[in-house]
Structure 1
Amino acid sequence: MVRDTNLCGIAVWLVLQSLIRTSEEIVESSIIQVWSAPGAETRLPCDLAASVHDVAMTMWFKDADRMPIYTVDFRNGPPVHWAIAGEFGTRTHFVLNESDPSSAHLAVDKVARYDEGVYRCRIDYIDSPTRNYRVNLTVIVPPDSPRIYDSEGREILGSIAGPFREGQDLLLSCQASGGKPAPDMSWYRGDERLASTKSGSVCQVHLPALSREASGTKLQCRVEPPLLQPQTRDVTLKLYLKPQFIRVTGGGPTRSGHERSFVCTTRGSKPAPNIDWFINSQRMDSSMTQVEVEGEVTRSVLTWRVRREDSGRQLVCRVSNPWFPAYTLEDSLTLEVLYPPAAQISMVEPKEPRLLREDEDAELLCSADASPPSYNFTFYRGTENHLIRDDPIGGIAVEGNKLVLRGLRRHHSSRYRCRAWNSEGSGLSEPLNLNVLSRPECSAGSVVQQIAGAPGGEVRARCSVSAPSTRDAGPLRFYWTYNGTKDVLPIPPSNVTIRGATSSVVHGLPTEDGDEDLGWLACWASNDIGNQREPCLFRVMPAALPEPPSNCEIEDEFLRCEPGHDGGLPQRFILEALEVRHHAPVMGDDSTMNDQGISGRGLTEAVYRASNDVTPQFPLDALSAGLYTFLVYSETPRGRSQHPAALHSIPIRTSDDLDVPGSLQTMTPMPPQPPSNDNSVALLVGASLSLVLLTILTTLCVTLVVICKKRQQPQRDPEQNTILRRSVGVSMYSGSSISPSIVPTVVVRGHRGSRVLAARWSGVLEDTPLAVLALDTRPHADTDSGHSDGELIQERDLPTTRHNIETQIE
């Protein structure tokens, strides 16, 4: 049966071939285009163009195949369908609507890419020519997923496009390759289509000069292949934005040295901007700033210690985005710093302070750098800054911040300063030294100096003046005059010596002896500024006798004293050494007292004399060993001192005989001799009574001698009697007998501190006059408490004053 079927099919095919070859064909020149998505159902149209009853057979061919792939036979009643064997045949069927023959079509299910081709529909009519339709079936191939590129060809991989800069031109390309047919492509911003491309694989969008509003905008690339769902790709624009706003706050008055916070606020910059601070065009240290970012608002807080020199300067805040190097925003404020005045004193007239001269006027100006401005000014003078006040009589006027000095004098030469005041305090200026070129003035001022002279002798005087330097005021010139009792005489220049600012003169005095004075010497000096207004005056007084030396001591074989007043004339010093020889005293005999009040009992003539023109110091190494009394005089052309300084009974020994080595001679009386026989009560009582009686008689005799001497001395000048001198420490007494029961201690005070040298006696002392030496060279305030101001006695009473003896009785 199968065989019969095959034979039948072959027969049909042969019949059809014969029909094809023999029938008249009508072929439509147009080709019907049919698109189909892969896997979808498609329809290949074939318009019968006649009733079904008029159609004999319908056949479908693919491409150039001569074998039909599908056949419908209408000749024998109901249509008979035949499809080519295979997979394609199972997916095809012919659809015919008899009421609408034009809608006939070949349906293909699950279209595959290999189904694509040109199909031919052949319609054989019973009484009409054959008609052919060509249908081009194209299986649509979807494009690849769209890809977006920027203007530099970089692919945008994520959903963010950028960053782009504000004001930049934007060019984005959307590519979808591999589509068949080429899809339609377009760019959308929301519902707004920005660009489109028909049947292409690339679509570009161009946005010139991106504005701030474009930041965050979503753009969509849409790919629309036919019969397929469109493909889309969304990107969001990321923009770097310029800063929009800047403002600096925190101004106002600020005290110098105090910290102040300034805030710089900016908005609109993406990313956060760089904020820099500048003062006087210098960048400030970033460590003094603190940055705060809140969304699009960025703040920079500058905490800074304001200085006085910053007053009036511009504090600038500069904002910049590194993506816009040529674009910056700035805001500034002027600093107002409060600080105390910085005063400065200057000369207004004349301009140069070294050109000031006497009798001219000077004007000083006190200027101050202060905030707020200074409202009070004071001026000071001298190193101790004495306040200068208005003195119209003295030519001083303080006028606000000006000091006017009228009629300049030398005393105006000084250091001047000024002080300015404001609400923040005060400031003292640096000193300004004024040097007034003036006439010479006497260095001693208006004090009249006294010099001593003798009638008929020469007098010497030295005059010193103060004057500006010779470079500024010219050289000094001196001349002297002598004002006698009758007239004023100029002193010849040959008697005048000039050395710098000092002049000396030698002038011979007249022979007349004046009671009050011997005349006046006047010293005058001049320079280029003018003559000295008042001379330096010297009153020539009659010279007095010199005073004797005092505080004599012997140290290292030298006798040294302190010189007394020279009486106004140069003095020299004379030493006389008298050797002491002992013999028995004669009671009541005062003939041994000389006119100096010095006992001559037991003394020889002067065995040694020496003189010194400078100081009362004399070597004693030429003396032989023995006991000496030393007399030291002062001598001037006027005469010799009335009294000498006397040291009595000073032993001079060789170095082997000194009891104690040191700087002072040691006065050591002979030690007492032990009794040769046993003491008895009777002998002791008799000796004591005899000694007491002898002491009483001696005291009475000495008292009488002193009284007589006082009466015989001539009355002196009251002026000389009023000269009080401290005791030289030498006390002399006439010879007397002392009870053997009394053991005296002789005190000798050394040159450096009190040094006590004691010698004890027992028995009866030798009958030579006793002279006790007390050398005291300490300051008067350090003497023993027993010495008070009562020890100041008249010089003529020195030899006979008994109470000055410094002894201690043990």
Structure 2
Amino acid sequence: MALDNRPCGFAVKLLYCILYFTIIFVIYANAADNWDKDDDPIPMSDVKAVLGSAAKLPCDIEPSTRGDGVYMVLWFRNNSVKPIYSVDVRGRPFNQALNWSDEEVRPRARFITIDRPAALVLEGIRLVDEGIYRCRVDFKKSPTRNFQVNLTVIYPPHQLLLIDNFGNEVEGSVGPHKVGDEFGLSCEVRGGKPSPVIKWFINGTETIGNIVQIGENTVVSKIGVSLLQRENFNITYKCRAFNTDLVKPLEKSVTINMYLKPISVTIISKPTILEFGKSYELVCEVVGSYPRALVTWTMKKDTNFTKIHETGNSKIVLSTLLYSPMPEDNNKQLRCQGMNPMLPTGSLEDSFQLNIYFPPKVSLEIGNTLNAQNIKEEDDVYFECKILANPVHHKITWKHNGRILTQKSGIVLSAQNLVLQKINRENGGNYSCLASNSRGETASSIVPLRVQFAPVCMTSDVTIIGASLDESVKIRCQVEADPIEVEFTWEFNNSGENFELAPAKFDGNNGTTSEFIYTPLSERDYGALTCWGRNIIGKQKNPCVYQIIPAVKPSPLSNCTLKATVNKSSELLEIECISGYDGGLRQDFRLEAYEARTNTLRVNTSSVSVNNPVFKIPINDLLPATNLYLIAYALNAKGKSEVSLLENIILQDSGKQADTEVSVLPLLLLLIGAFIALGIIILSIMLILYRRRGTTSPIHIEPYMKQPIISPPDSRNNSMLDVTHGDHTYFVEYTLKQVGDFGLNQPDIIQSPQDHEKVKREQQLFLPVRPDTLFAPYDLHKQGLQKNNCSLNPLSTKSWEPISFKTDRNLMKEIIIANSIPGPESCV
């Protein structure tokens, strides 16, 4: 039974749907056909738009009752029942309304709702867009509202012509005419809807013209003068045509031109003195020239001025020259000439001589007999200072690189000349001369003096470079030279031997830089490398010296101190030490923090500074441990230094400590540590004095063998500082000691008992400082030493012995190096 009724039910629903949409369509069509027959009058507004521009058609879509809203907006043109534009808000927010436009206005139409009232904007208005537009607004609750807009499309005139009596089109000026001639102008305007209006203006005053022709697309108006008089000279006639205020009107103007000769030319003001740096207005009056006189200011036949302002009337022309005196214009004649350009034979002029005061104008030149590109040391050079001044200069000053020159040996000052005798490279640089008079002082442009010279080492100090046996290092030799094309020679000196090294070992030359790869194979290969440069001027007098010494492990850190710091996010413990000798190699700095009870590593960090051992540890990284010790050390390619130990570091909560009695133990330990440190200092001073007295004869050390003294680290025992972390304050107690053997002995170092006793006995080592900026590690280091090739450096086992002043100097250097630097490492 249900199956039999199902098709019937579907047919009934379909029939109802068809009937519903038919009724809606009939109602909509009937409303559209009779919208203008409504009893209520529909308001009408007028809108004018220029062809090609945009028109804005208003439509008020604001509901009359609170809580109401727009349902749909429809736009119709003339009596069409089909909308040209619609805005559908049904079932969606207003800002998501569907906009639709007919092909006739698409894509020129858009509906703007931000204006009050809203408006339909039509871009690129056409003539066919003219008509009556209706806006229908349907609201959700309020009755439908209709508006009418009468759109008028204006087509402005597109061409305006001025025609003289002879039928020629004129622009700018008309004529030339003479007194008594007949003058007439016609203004022809083409195009325009509605028909344009033509107005005439004479020197800006409106006058009446005669309309002589009105065609379908053309309007003509005429104006004229039967007999021209002198008063008609330079009068401007303007024709203006327009048919709307929405666009700028068309207009053209012409000026009457007449021929008459000038009567007089006079420069009204003639200053006796003109100051350089000031501006003057010089006025020239020209009377009686028709047409307007052509006024020309000249100083020479080939000199014209452009900063000229002219005023006047039909009888008098005033030409004002804005003149800025220049030094080169002094004593010249300034002329003003007035003439009728059409009557050149009738020109007149006036003139006066310029007297210009100015500071000296100075230029500096190198002697014309010298070749500025081929001046070398020991040559004589002279400069010439050329000066132009009014009044005459009374003082000349010479400068070299900004410093005033005075006459002395090798420097001769004569009138306007500077002579440099037997120059050297220090004489090179920038030269200038200054001249003074009552109006000021002026400096010349800089003239560079290039002095060519033989190569000179970039630094006079001896460079210390550490290297192990069979280790290749790259040595960079830098010199100053001019020209910079330098050839280099390398030599080696050790124990009296001096020989030139093979060019095959050069890594390359680059102008004033040469790089040399050196590999010491035995102890005799440690010594002095010298670098010599040569260019076309000559050979280097003093070589660059590089002292090659055995590379060793770095010296231990000293004077390690603790302090509390706070950054943006957490509290920190900052440990700062003093670095020792780097062993001739680049060194890094490390710090490790251990829990004292379990020896558990809590922190392993590097220095925050490359050159100085400074470590920063967040308190969070140390907690919850409360009893800690720290070790700090340096390391390079040869291994680690001995460690510096900071022990007995106790983190105690200040709140808990306040509940207990004050302990005097830290103060006691601090006092004991101070006495121990004082004793060590006194003992060190006595040891130094003892060693100085023990020398049997003075030792002469070359400048490049001078080395800084590295003092042993100080100890600060039982120190305390407080650190705030979160809501707690911790007191940090620590004891600093120098550890010689902290269970961290390096397995690759072999030290004899004699060396160990020597280290204990000698608290100060004479070690060279290695400049990192002049040393570049080279990638030819050996991958590893063979065990059968390893040997101890015998120099490191020699004891310190007094050296006689009579001993061979080269041998003395070798002994000093041997006793100052530990020997090479073993392969163990």
TM-score per shorter chain, which class? 0.3 to 0.5
TM-score by length of 1: 0.42
Give the TM-score of the pair, scaled to structure 2. Answer: 0.41
Q: Which has the higher contact order (CA 8 A, sep 6+)?
A: 2
